[in-house]
Amino acid sequence: MLMLIMSNNFIQLFFGWEAVGLVSYLLIGFYFKRPSATFANLKAFLINRVGDFGFLLGIGLVLAYFGGSLRYQDVFAYLPNVQNATIQLFPGVEWSLITVTCLLLFVGAMGKSAQFPLHVWLPDSMEGPTPISALIHAATMVTAGLFMVSRMSPIYEMSSTALSVIMVIGAITALFMGFLGVIQNDIKRVVAYSTLSQLGYMTVALGASAYSVAMFHVMTHAFFKALLFLAAGSAIIGMHHDQDMRHMGNLKNTCRLLG
């Protein structure tokens, strides 16, 4: 994660990006003897590879058309030269080069930050121990995509189309994941869908060019979601590993401090 955050070029960013995904894959499969845990970490791995394919294509476009350098400083300085450049994806169809690059990079962020429709791996990642769930949902994997979009803000500011797409996807994620969270009975899945909904709000802020607001939300979310997961873990232990919220009434008798 530190490599991803402190990188000053796309190569280092990509290696940090993949390392976060690999470690998260291993953590989700902590209980490797459970078939459900094995399925969950395989799902997370495969869906993130879909996002990473788009991310890698975006980096390829940056290398090919943005001055031949992968250093952030050089790429951002070269942006005025490609402001009106187009690329032909299909015969006779011209697309803005910057818009295509932004959208491909955002596909990677959709996989890492669990945005619709690449969100399905996150609720299943609850198969790991509660502290691992808190780590993945609060501070590491799901924030990587949001940080990347914020770090690439000079590129995204050149494409209003890409920002509009980001805002729409974030709004869909925030709304529908909130609805899905309401109908869950498993306490950890409720918190997982809460994370998805909050990530949608952060993505909407990115689409509105409010990068500082999105990063502030990332920081505050890391604190309260980690505490929420640990509190949920305490409730699960107090209920003898029963995660069904329908059985958690009158907690003051079984777990006085938590109740």
Q: What percent of the chain has pLDDT over 70?
A: 97
Instruction: Output the average pLDDT for the chain.
Output: 88
Residue 56: pLDDT above 60? yes
What is the spatial distance between Cα 191 and Cα 133, in angstroms, rounded to a whole number? 10
CB 72 within 8 Å of CB 8: yes
Q: What is the pLDDT of residues 156-167, one digit of tens each?
A: 999 999 999 999
In the prediction, which pLDDT does 187 show? 85
In a domain, 208, yes or no: yes
Could you tell me the maximum CA-CA distance found in the chain, to the nearest angstrom? 70
What residues make up the domain containing 100? 1-254
In the prediction, which pLDDT does 256 show? 66
SS3 category, 95: strand
59 CB contacts (<8 Å, ≥6 apart)? 10, 14, 70, 105
In a domain, 125, yes or no: yes
Residue 39: pLDDT above 80? yes
In a domain, 259, yes or no: no
Domain count, the chain: 1
In the prediction, which pLDDT does 212 show? 94
Q: What is the pLDDT confidence band of residue 257, given thresholds at 50, 70 and 90?
A: low
Number of neighbouring beta carbons within 10 Å of residue 188: 22
> In this predicted model, which residue has the larger pLDDT, 147 or 253?
147
What is the spatial distance between Cα 78 and Cα 17, in angstroms, rounded to a whole number? 24
Q: What is the pLDDT confidence band of residue 25, given thresholds at 50, 70 and 90?
A: confident
DSSP string, 10-43: HHHHHHHHHHHHHHHHHHHTSSTTSHHHHHHHHH
In the prediction, which pLDDT does 26 show? 86
Mean pLDDT along residues 205-234: 90
Q: Which helix (H) or strand (E) holds 84?
A: none
Q: What is the pLDDT confidence band of residue 229, given thresholds at 50, 70 and 90?
A: confident
Residue 142: pLDDT above 70? yes
Residue 94's DSSP bridge partners are 88
In the prediction, which pLDDT does 106 show? 95
In the prediction, which pLDDT does 258 show? 64
DSSP 8-state class, residue 89: E
φ, ψ (nearest 5 deg) of residue 253: -85, -30
In the prediction, which pLDDT does 209 show? 93
Whether the pTM exceeds 0.85: the reply is yes
In a domain, 53, yes or no: yes
Mean pLDDT along residues 235-255: 75
Residue for token pair 């942006």: 79
Residue for token pair 């309260």: 224
Q: What is the pLDDT of residues 77-135, one digit of tens each?
A: 999 999 888 888 888 888 999 999 999 999 999 999 989 888 888 888 877 787 887 88
In the prediction, which pLDDT does 138 show? 77
CB 89 within 8 Å of CB 57: no
Residue for token pair 């505050």: 220
Number of neighbouring beta carbons within 10 Å of residue 121: 23
